[in-house]
């Protein structure tokens, strides 16, 4: 089992170190190789995704990714910015399905911005299509200056597009995921205004006919945003396009209390995957040893489950995280009165200790 470890920038190096600690005590035959990505790779090699890093990722069964980015790179040409590394990995590895579970741990119900009864027991899975939509359509009519801005331009526009195979494959992923859960899929679109999303809706419905056990409903994205904060437990699996998924998954993240708790997985058709926390490099807290490593540790658990076929080990990590939360240990982002505040490394050590029990 070969894992490419790409810690990246900011808190990325701190949180990935904790996930590695956890993976090492599982005593499984992993081969791990670390490489630079993002701003760190730009500093060393002049590019956020050097050829050697991409080759390593492509030759691995899974990529464990920290986070990339820092405000200091905001003036670079767009292709050289750290965030381009993620787009490059997604594109070159064909990672089209982004899984973002939003689970509210019972111990953290009070950390949510919603009332406890709305989020207690919450367990939803947002599946975001990752390689199409407006993020990859043709940008047209642009007058792009080298710094990525448009001095003196009268307009700028991007085109939204999806192909039938792109929609079909993400729909299958969603229905198959629902079969292992509560057998409900909500497809989120904007079919009342956008042709692309009428097409999306029609194709998801067609694919749904192949999964008669799964209940499918369709919801406009504005209503979905409202329902996510009004009654989030009504959802099981939510499937949507790249842009709506980007926004809704962050909103869902906050329902659970902290973005520091949320893992994510991006998979291709061979189950090769990139696993990363849902948050960014948090330059505001980098180097302070206070970042929450649990999202990254839970991402490592998703990696074991989806790409490395080590379901028992994945379950063990999730149980260990729950035990640590039961014991009252909290990093600053999830701390509340009556719990014990710990730093990044202490939290990682606590998960390692819980695994050994």
The correct pick among 7, 48, 50, 69 for binding ligand NAD (CB under 6 A) is: 69
Which DSSP helix (H) or strand (E) runs through 301?
A: helix 294-306
292 binds ligand NAD (CB under 6 A): yes
Which DSSP helix (H) or strand (E) runs through 4?
A: strand 2-8
Nearer to ligand NAD, 216 or 252 (CB): 252
Q: Helix, strand, coil % (nearest 5) of the chain? A: 45, 20, 35
* Dihedral angle computed from the Cα positions of residues 23, 26, 27 and 28, in that order, rounded to the nearest 10 degrees: -70
The correct pick among 19, 67, 130, 216 for binding ligand NAD (CB under 6 A) is: 67
HEC per residue, 108-133? HHHHCCCCHHHHCCCEEEEEEECCCH
Nearer to ligand NAD, 219 or 334 (CB): 334
Place of tokens 């992923």: 173
Asked if residues 260 and 291 have their Cβ atoms less than 8 Å apart, the reply is yes
Question: Cβ of residue 171: shortest distance to ligand NAD, in angstroms?
Answer: 25
Distance of CA 355 to the CA centre of its chain: 24
Asked if residues 248 and 260 have their Cβ atoms less than 8 Å apart, the reply is no
70 binds ligand NAD (CB under 6 A): yes
Nearer to ligand NAD, 38 or 208 (CB): 38
Place of tokens 């992993």: 30
The correct pick among 225, 254, 259, 319 for binding ligand NAD (CB under 6 A) is: 259
Question: Cβ of residue 66: shortest distance to ligand NAD, in angstroms?
Answer: 7
Joined together, the tokens standing for residue 267 give: 């998979």
Asked if residues 314 and 1 have their Cβ atoms less than 8 Å apart, the reply is no
Which DSSP helix (H) or strand (E) runs through 246?
A: helix 242-255
Active site residues: 135, 190, 222, 246, 250
Joined together, the tokens standing for residue 280 give: 């960014």
Question: Cβ of residue 70: shortest distance to ligand NAD, in angstroms?
Answer: 5
285 binds ligand NAD (CB under 6 A): yes
260 binds ligand NAD (CB under 6 A): yes
User: What is d(CA 260, CA 254) in angstroms, rounded to the nearest whole number?
Assistant: 10
68 binds ligand NAD (CB under 6 A): yes
The correct pick among 243, 291, 308, 342 for binding ligand NAD (CB under 6 A) is: 291
Question: Cβ of residue 90: shortest distance to ligand NAD, in angstroms?
Answer: 11
Using CB under 6 A, which residues numbered 264 to 283 contact ligand NAD? 276, 279-283
The correct pick among 86, 167, 221, 320 for binding ligand NAD (CB under 6 A) is: 86
| Region of 49-57, 67-75, 146-154, 176-184 interacting with ligand NAD (CB under 6 A) | 67-75
Question: Cβ of residue 267: shortest distance to ligand NAD, in angstroms?
Answer: 16
Tell me the Ramachandran region of residue 239: left when phi exceeds 0, alpha when psi lies from -120 to 50, beta otherwise: beta
Question: Cβ of residue 19: shortest distance to ligand NAD, in angstroms?
Answer: 12
Nearer to ligand NAD, 69 or 348 (CB): 69
In 92-137 the beta strands, taken as DSSP E runs, fall at: 97-103, 123-129
Applying CB under 6 A, the residues found at the interface with ligand NAD are 11, 15, 67-70, 83, 86, 259-260, 276, 279-285, 291-292, 295, 333
């Amino acid at each position: 089992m070969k894992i490419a470890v790409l810690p990246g920038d900011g808190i990325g190096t701190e949180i990935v170190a904790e996930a590695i600690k956890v993976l090492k005590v599982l005593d499984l035959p992993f081969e791990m190789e670390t490489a630079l990505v993002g701003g760190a790779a730009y500093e060393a090699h002049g590019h956020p995704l050097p050829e050697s890093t991409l080759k390593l990722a492509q030759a691995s069964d899974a990529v464990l990714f920290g986070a990339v980015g820092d405000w200091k790179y905001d003036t670079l040409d767009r292709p050289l910015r750290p965030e381009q590394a993620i787009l490059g990995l997604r594109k070159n590895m064909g990672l089209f399905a982004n899984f973002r579970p939003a689970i509210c741990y019972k111990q953290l119900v009070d950390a949510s911005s919603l009332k406890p009864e709305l989020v207690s027991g919450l367990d939803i899975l947002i599946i975001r299509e990752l390689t199409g939509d407006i993020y990859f359509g043709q940008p047209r009519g642009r007058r792009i200056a080298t710094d990525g801005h448009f001095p003196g331009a009268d307009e700028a526009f991007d085109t939204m597009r999806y192909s039938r195979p792109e929609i079909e494959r993400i729909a299958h992923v969603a229905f198959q995921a629902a079969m292992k859960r509560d057998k409900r899929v909500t497809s989120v679109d904007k079919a009342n205004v956008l042709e692309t999303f009428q097409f999306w809706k029609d194709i998801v419905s067609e694919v749904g006919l192949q999964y008669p056990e799964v209940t499918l409903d369709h919801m406009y994205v504005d209503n979905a945003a409202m329902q996510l904060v009004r009654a989030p437990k009504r959802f099981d699996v939510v499937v949507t396009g790249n842009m709506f998924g980007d926004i809704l998954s962050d909103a869902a993240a906050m329902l659970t209390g902290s973005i520091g708790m949320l893992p994510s997985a991006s998979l291709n058709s061979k189950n090769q995957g990139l696993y990363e926390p849902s948050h960014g490099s948090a330059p505001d807290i980098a180097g302070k040893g206070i970042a929450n490593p649990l999202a990254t540790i839970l991402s490592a658990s998703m990696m074991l489950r989806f790409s490395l076929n080590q379901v028992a080990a994945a379950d063990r990590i999730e149980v260990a995280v729950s035990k640590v939360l039961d014991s009252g240990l909290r990093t600053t982002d999830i701390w509340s009165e009556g719990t014990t505040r710990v730093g990044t490394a202490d939290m990682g050590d606590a998960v390692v200790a819980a695994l050994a029990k």
